[in-house]
Amino acid sequence: VRWGTTTQPTSFDPATVGNAANRWYLEPIYDTLIDALENGQLVPGLATEWALADDAMSLDLTLREGVTFQDGEPFDADAVVANFEHFRADDSLLKADLAVIDSVEVIDPLHVRLHFNRAGGDVPQVLSGFPGMMVSPASIAAGTTSTEPVGAGPFTINTITDSSATYDYWDGYWAAETIIPRSVEVVLMTDD
In a structure prediction context, what are the per-residue pLDDT tens digits for the chain, which is 192 residues long? 999 998 888 899 999 998 888 888 999 999 999 999 999 999 999 999 999 999 999 999 999 999 999 999 999 999 999 999 999 999 999 999 999 999 999 999 999 999 999 999 999 999 999 999 999 999 999 999 999 999 999 999 999 988 899 999 999 999 999 999 999 999 999 887
- Residue 21: per-residue pLDDT: 82
Q: What angle do CA 65, 66, 72 make, to 5 degrees?
A: 135
Nearest to residue 34, comparing CAs of 131, 128, 133? 128
- At 168, give phi and psi (nearest 5°): -110, 145
Nearest to 15 by CA among 102, 125, 134: 134
Q: Looking at residue 79, what is its pLDDT?
A: 98
Give the whole-angstrom CA distance, residue 188 versus residue 192.
Answer: 11
* Residue 70 to residue 91: CA distance in whole angstroms: 25
pLDDT attached to residue 18? 82
Rounded Cα–Cα distance for residues 163 and 142 (Å): 26
Q: Can you give the pTM of this predicted structure?
A: 0.94
